[in-house]
Amino acid sequence: MPVQLICASHSPLMLTDVEESENGVHAQFFRELDECAKALREFDPELVVVFGPDHFNGFFYELMPMFCVGTAAQGSKDWHLEAGPLKVPRQTALDCVRFLHQHDFDVALSHEMKVDHGITIPLYKLTGALNRYNVLPIFINCAADPRPSFRRVRTFGTTIGEFFAERHPDMRITFLGSGGLSHDPPTPRLEMSPPDVAQRLIKRQNPTQEELDVREARVVRAARDLVVGKGPCLPPDEQWDHDFLKSFVDGTLEDFDNMSDAEIDRLAGFGAHEVRTWVAAAAAAKAMGSLKNELKYYHLVPEWITGMGIVVGQAYGRA
């Protein structure tokens, strides 16, 4: 059976009523996402492996891993998403962690991972629920500097693909990459934050719904300001997105090995670091067979702060 790959931008602003800056763009994105959901249902995966970031809702600077695999996970309530448990196959998760350790990845392990919209949005939009399918949640640090290099992310994804190719060669697997493309949300940066905000980035906490609403209203205001050409967010960069997508669709993931965080910050924005999740997901799929990718959607959506993209792929047979 083939391996399925779906990589998609997530913007929590697509869950709001923020005004559309170009007629029909939102509907087109959701139509393509619905087509991906239909393809996933038809594929009927035995396991969904989702590579996602976090936005200082589950992982904090008090102990920030570069990679973490969850043996159990709970969705958070950010952006008024329904919280609840993911259906994680514990033994598979443990076996994957042990395999990674044996192959020189000292990946972190969580028996109670908290996942925010970076993982819950694709699960809701592509599967309809947090627990409809067996899900293996894999966190990649994309927001907290310093981050893992793109070469390390690629080889991490490759090793996960090798685990499934070796231990579960006949399992139907959907790999999801959630994040990107270019976007510059008003996420606090530790070195630029006042002491009270810095503490929120460092110390693990459970914000109230009121606190979440205040933070999220600030993002909506920033999005509306971006549409009319105001700061603080850097606008998404169409050329950067196209350059990334060309190499990504072509499958030349090594092209990203030397991409620097400084370059991403300058051209594509703070949130674009999330394309690490795409690279890891594609590397995992590629390790399981000959991978063929297709760009299904791309458009700048300034009111969502983001260059929105969807790439799908299938891998057949061992590479």
Q: How many CB atoms lie within 10 A of CB 76?
A: 21
In the set 183, 242, 273, 299, the catalytic residue is 183
Burial of 318 (0-12, 13-18, 19+ CB in 10 A): exposed
Q: Comparing C-alpha atoms, which of 222, 219, 238, 242 is closest to residue 230?
A: 222
Give the dihedral of Cα atoms 99, 103, 104, 108; nearest 10 deg.
-20
Distance CA 174, CA 134 (A): 10
Give the max Cα distance, the chain: 53
Yes or no: say if 244 and 264 are a contact pair by the CB < 8 Å rule: no
Active-site residue 117, yes or no? yes
Q: What are phi and psi of 137, to 5 degrees?
A: -85, 130
In the set 10, 26, 55, 117, the catalytic residue is 117
| Residues recognised as catalytic | 117, 183
